[in-house]
Structure 1
Amino acid sequence: MQKKIVITGYGWMAGYLGNALLSSDSPIDAHVVGTTRSDDKLVQMSKQNITGIKFALGDDTSRLCQYMQDATFIINIPPGRRSTQLDGFTQQVIALINDAVAANVAHIIFVSTTSVYGDSTNETLTETSAPAPETASAKAHVAIEEHLASLSSKVNYTVLRLAGLVGPDRHPARSLSGRELPAGNKRINLVHIADVVKGLLAVIETPQRNCTLHLCSALHPKRGEYYSRAASALNLPLPLFSDTESEAMGKVIDASASWQALDITPAYANPDDMY
């Protein structure tokens, strides 16, 4: 039976997921629906046999909701990184969720972030650790997560808290190259897009109901050491970090229980395999 997968918005990560869903060896027979604000992207999606819908948060949802009945709905709309006032964003995402539930969506997957734990702890954080958001973006994600939890009697949902995303065409070392930066002893928490796609496919195929999952690598080196190695491997000027020799500090995202629940062995458990 064909499975409807509705993805909003259809950006970098969704592109990898869409390619996996529509590949000849996909474990899921999928009809993929994606939203974008770009006319050019709509044309590109049509060529890939993806049903494209032009949509931005705050728009009327009636056309989008035509595809929601019995669908898996993936919400992947990150707020602007520099935004400090996100009440409007939060309320628009919540309204979108409510409309999807009213349209009898089967399963909501909310792509969240490990930044919900803040940046002031040195603890190892599991899926049951309490959020401590510090930024406007993190607070918005927590509010949306809490709203989903309040709907658990009406809809199945899964929250995926992702660590920093890395891919073959995206590595933080490129933006850090040649810069002078503080806190080289801070631990890193990264996840490769290939492992994220595996996680999403597993959740789509066998829904993890009303729960929160972590997707993160198993190792957490100091960023001063890691990004120097990465820059060298990528033939980039090395970043210069202070405090790299100091004792390692910062949060550690433990995703072991989530990978086990999904029956996945991450291909990129070691961040040194990501560049």
Structure 2
Amino acid sequence: MQRNITLCGCGWLGNYLLPVLADDFQVLGTTRSPHRAEQIKKNGGAVYLFELGDNPSELCQQSENATVILNIPPGRHHQEFNTYSQQMCSLIDAFMAHHARHLIFISTTSVYGEKERIVTENSELIPQTGSAKSHCTIEAYAKQRAGDAATIVRLAGLVGPDRHPVTSLSGKQLSQANRVVNLVHIHDVVIALKRVVEQGAASKTLHLCSLVHPTRKDYYTQCAMKMALPLPIFDEDQKEVKGKQIDASASWEYLGLTPKYASPFDMII
């Protein structure tokens, strides 16, 4: 088994993922923040200070023949998305020039847009936001450049012990009461990504999402009640259940895993 992993981007997700990988692999974690560098060391990884757009030559030399996990999100400003795509594609080129054995790109289910439908790993991509369009571009380039060594992992909305969407929605007037939610818990993401690494290079596109999809009104109302937060107030302008529903059953089966947090109701803090 290949023992070298380069985790490009050690933000919120990476902070949970790195210590689990470090139990069994030698992990090189990148960050642009000296403060986060100390956390990477505490989690068992080696550190390389790197910001997207920097010259990647030395980083890639240290990552020769490694499994590379690309976990660098785009910025929040629309004018940055084209630059983000170009820089990510250049980074992929650099890693592949140094013989990356497995390229894992952390993408998003927003690449499917908001068209009402059940979405599988083979559904049509209909990106609507700048971020989603960038992710589509990078996904396609990773597949072209890395071929059978490229694995795309599309994440639903992330939830964790210190992160839940209801904290920003409580007490607010909200629409789309009957739109379904697509969420995944960080625990299940970490276990799944470790399994992807263990299984090795494979030309696969995977979904990581819970198996149950309650409506926004039902879910966030119950979350607020259980967490003793002000209830969100939903407009009653939509009667039927709407929105895309991410079907991740085939991906969980491929990984040989059953998510611990199979329902978003299991994720309520």
The CA distance in 2 between the partners of 1:48 and 1:62, in whole Å, is 25
Aligned mate of 1:32, from 27, 35, 41: 27
CA drift at 1:75: 0.4
Structure 2 residue aligned with 1:234? 227
The answer for the alignment partner of 1:10 in structure 2 is 10
- The answer to whether residue 77 in structure 2 is matched with residue 78 in structure 1 is no
Match of 1:213 in 2: 206
Asked if residue 125 in structure 1 is aligned to residue 119 in structure 2, the reply is: yes
Measure the CA separation in 1 of the matches of 2:253 and 2:108: 19
Structure 1: gaps of 5 or more residues: 24-28
User: Residues 217 and 10 (structure 1 numbering): CA distance in 2 closer, same or farther, change over 3 Å?
Assistant: same
Percent identity, aligned pairs only, is: 47
* Secondary structure in 2 matching 1:110: strand
- Cα offset for 1:199? 0.8
Distance 1:125 1:81 in 2: 26
Partner of 1:44: 39
Q: Distance in 2 between matches of 1:7 and 1:50?
A: 9
Between stretches 48-57 and 261-270, larger displacement belongs to: 48-57
Q: Deviations over 1:237-275 (max 9, x none)?
A: 111111376111000000000000000001111100001
Q: What is the letter of the counterpart of residue 8 of structure 2?
A: T
Judged with a 3 Å threshold, the aligned counterparts in structure 2 of structure 1 residues 44 and 232 are, in CA distance, closer, same or farther, namely: same
Structure 1 residue 80: Cα displacement: 2.3
1:99 and 2:91 matched: no
Aligned residues: 268
Indicate conservation of the 8 Å contact 2:154/2:205, yes or no: yes
RMSD of equivalent CA atoms: 1.5
Alignment-derived partner of residue 113 in structure 1: 108
**1:188 counterpart letter in structure 2:** V
Corresponding residue number in structure 1 for 2:132? 138
Q: Secondary structure at the match of 2:68?
A: strand
1:171 corresponds to which of 152, 164, 171: 164
The residue that corresponds to 1:195 in the other structure is 188
TM-score, normalization: structure 1? 0.93
Task: Give 1:85 shift.
Answer: 4.4
Unaligned runs of 5+ in 2: none
- What is the deviation of 1:44? 2.5
Is the 1:116–1:138 contact (alpha carbons within 8 Å) kept by the matching residues of 2? yes
| CA–CA distance in structure 1, aligned partners of residues 250 and 38 of structure 2 | 40
Give the C-alpha shift of residue 96 in structure 1: 0.2
**CA–CA separation in structure 1 for the residues paired with 2:199 and 2:68:** 14
Deviations 1:80-127 (A, max 9, x none): 2443541100000000000000011100000000000001x1110100
Bigger mean CA offset, 41-50 vs 221-230: 41-50
How far does residue 2 in structure 1 lie from its aligned partner after superposition? 6.3
Hey, which of these two has a bigger chunk of helix by percent? 2
Which residue type is aligned with residue 18 of structure 1? Answer: L
Query: Does the 8 A contact of 1:222 with 1:244 survive in 2?
Result: no
Q: Separation in 2 of the partners of 1:228 and 1:82?
A: 31
